[in-house]
Amino acid sequence: MVSNAPVAGVGPDALSKKKDNAQNDVETSDLSIEPAPNYAPEDDEKDGSEEINYHTLTWWQAGVVMIAETVSLGILSLPAVVANLGLAPGIVVMVIMGVFSTYSGLVMGEFRKQYPWVESFGDAGEVMGRSIGMGKVFQEVFGWAQTIFQVFVMGSHLLTWTICLNTLTDSAACTIVWGVVGLAIFWALNTPRTLKAAGYYSFASFASIFTAVMVTMIDVGIEKPIGTTSVEVSRTIGFASAFLSVTNIAVAFSGHSCFFSVMSELKQPNDWPKALMLLQVCDTVLYIVASVVIYIYVGPDVPSPALSAAGSRVVRKVIWGIAIPTIVIAGVIYGHVAAKYIFVRVFAGTKHLAKRTTLGVIGWLGITAAIWIIAWVIAQSIPVFSNLLGLLCALFASWFSYGIPGSLWLWMHYGEWFTSPKRIVQFSLNALLMLVGLLLCALGLWVSGEAIAKDSGTEPWTCKSNAAS
C-alpha cells in the first residue's frame, strides 16, 4: 500500500470524511449491485428478465458455507504439520492462528457495518484509498489479488480432485485427464449466480470432510498403518521446514477472502458475529482433534493430504470417496466468489447485475469457465499439495486473513488509537495482525519457494499418478 500516514492505507482526513459521506458513497460505489441509471422496470417485461435476490442466507447457512470453504483442504495438511513441529508447538500455533483469524473476521464485520456496500477486498481498498486520492488503485490491487488467491485455491481443489480420482481408480487414466474431468464438473456446478443453494449443499460438504476425517482417525487408531507410534512433544527442525508448517496452519484459517461476499448475502447483516463464531469454533476444534489423533497413531511419516494415511487400499478408497463432496463443493464456493467479483466489474452499472438477462447468463458462464481453466493450469503446474498451500499463504492468505483486516481497523479508528485503554489494546492487536501478515508473506515466500525447488517427488504436467503409494 502507499500512504503518507503512519500506517499504510490510513489518511489523515479519513475519519471525518467517511461518516459524513457514507450515504453518498453508497449511491456512487462502483461495485454496487445496481442496474444502470437509465434502466426502467418495464424493460424486464419486454426481454423476459427477472430480478435476482442476493440476500438469501441466514446466519447458520452463512456459517455452514464458510465451514465448507474453510475446513475442506486446510485440515488435510495439519496432521503432517503436527508431525513436523511436534505435538505441543503444533497445537499452540493452531490455537494462536485461530484466535487471530477470529478477531480479524470481527474487524471485517465492523468495517462492513460502517460501509454496507462493500462486497470484496477490492471495495474495501477503494474506501481506504479514496481518502488519499488512490481509491481506484487500491480497488484494483486488493480486488484482483483477492480473485487471484481464490483461483489458486480453486487450483488446489482440482489438485486434490486428481489425487482422489487416482486413488479411487488405481490411476486408470492420466492425471491430466482427471484434471480435465474435474474442470468440467466444477464449472458446471458454478453456473448458479447466488450462494443460496450453497447454504444447503454445504451441509453435504461439511458432512463429507467430517466423516472422511473421522473414518481416517478410526482406521489409523486400529491399524497404525505408517511408521511408528512414537510421539514427540516438540522437535528440533530447520527454520524453513518449521515456517512452511506455520504457513500450512495459516491457510487452514484463510477463509477471509470470501467473508465480505458472504456478508453481502446475509438476510440480517447484524448476524455476522454468530456466523463467524460458528465457523471458528467448529474449525479450530476439528483441526486440533483430527491432527493430534492422526499424528499419534500414524507417527512421523503421516502424509499430506492426511486422507491417504489409512492402512489398506480399500479403506483409502472409501475415505477418498466420502471426501468427494467437500473437494468439489468448497472449490465451487471459491469459484463463485471469484467469478462474482469479475462479473460485477465487467457489468458494473448495468441491469445485467440485478437481472437474469441473456447477456448476463452468457457472461457468467464465460467468466466461470475461464477461471476454472486457469485453476486447472495451476493444479498441473504445482502438483505438491503442501507446497501449493504454503505458496498460497505467503502470497495471499497472509494479507487477507491478517494484514489487511489489521489495516482496516487502523484506518477506521485513525486519530483514536490511544484515546482509551481499550483503544490501546485494540491498536496493539491490529498492529500485531499487520506484522503477522508481513512475516507470513516475506518468510513464507522464501520457504515455500525453497520447498518447491527441492521437491522432486512429483513432476508437473505429467500423466504419472499423484496418489500416495
Q: Which band of pLDDT confidence, cut at 50, 70 and 90, is reported for residue 29? A: very low
Q: Assess if residue 272 is contained within a domain.
A: yes
Q: Assess if residue 19 is contained within a domain.
A: no
Dihedral through CA 230, CA 234, CA 238, CA 244, nearest 10?
90
pLDDT digits (tens, 9 = 90+) for 312-323: 788 889 999 999
Q: For residue 388, what pLDDT is reported?
A: 77
Q: Assess if residue 30 is contained within a domain.
A: no
User: Which one is predicted more confidently, 206 or 116?
Assistant: 116
Mean pLDDT of the chain: 83
Verify cis geometry, omega within 30 degrees of 0, for the bond prior to 305.
yes
Q: Assess if residue 1 is contained within a domain.
A: no
Number of domains in the chain: 1
Q: For residue 61, what pLDDT is reported?
A: 87
Q: Assess if residue 21 is contained within a domain.
A: no
200-215: average pLDDT: 85
Name the residue with cell 447457512. 61
Q: For residue 433, what pLDDT is reported?
A: 95
Domain that holds residue 346: 52-454
| CA–centroid distance for 260 within its chain | 12
Q: Assess if residue 108 is contained within a domain.
A: yes
Q: Which band of pLDDT confidence, cut at 50, 70 and 90, is reported for residue 105? A: very high
Measured CA distances, 250 to 78, 98, 106, 148, 410 (Å): 10, 9, 17, 18, 22
Dihedral through CA 150, CA 156, CA 158, CA 162, nearest 10?
180
Give the domain CATH number at 208. 1.20.1740.10
Q: For residue 43, what pLDDT is reported?
A: 46
Identity of the highest mean pLDDT range in 44-48, 54-58, 70-74, 324-328 = 324-328
pLDDT digits (tens, 9 = 90+) for 148-192: 888 988 998 999 899 999 999 998 889 999 999 999 999 999 988
Cα–Cα distance measured from residue 297 to residue 225, given in angstroms and rounded to the nearest whole number: 8
Q: Any idea what DSSP says for residue 116?
A: T
- If phi > 0 it is left, if psi is from -120 to 50 it is alpha, else beta; for residue 432 that is alpha
Q: Assess if residue 194 is contained within a domain.
A: yes
**HEC per residue, 141-154:** HHHHHHHHHHHHHH
Element (H, E) at 60: helix 59-85
Q: Would you say 172 and 367 are in contact if contact means Cβ atoms under 8 Å apart?
A: no
Q: Assess if residue 288 is contained within a domain.
A: yes
Q: Which of 208-212, 273-277, 387-391 has the lowest mean pLDDT?
A: 387-391
Cα–Cα distance measured from residue 344 to residue 336, given in angstroms and rounded to the nearest whole number: 12
User: Is the pLDDT confidence value at 241 over 80?
Assistant: yes
User: Is the pLDDT confidence value at 33 over 50?
Assistant: no
User: Is the pLDDT confidence value at 439 over 80?
Assistant: yes
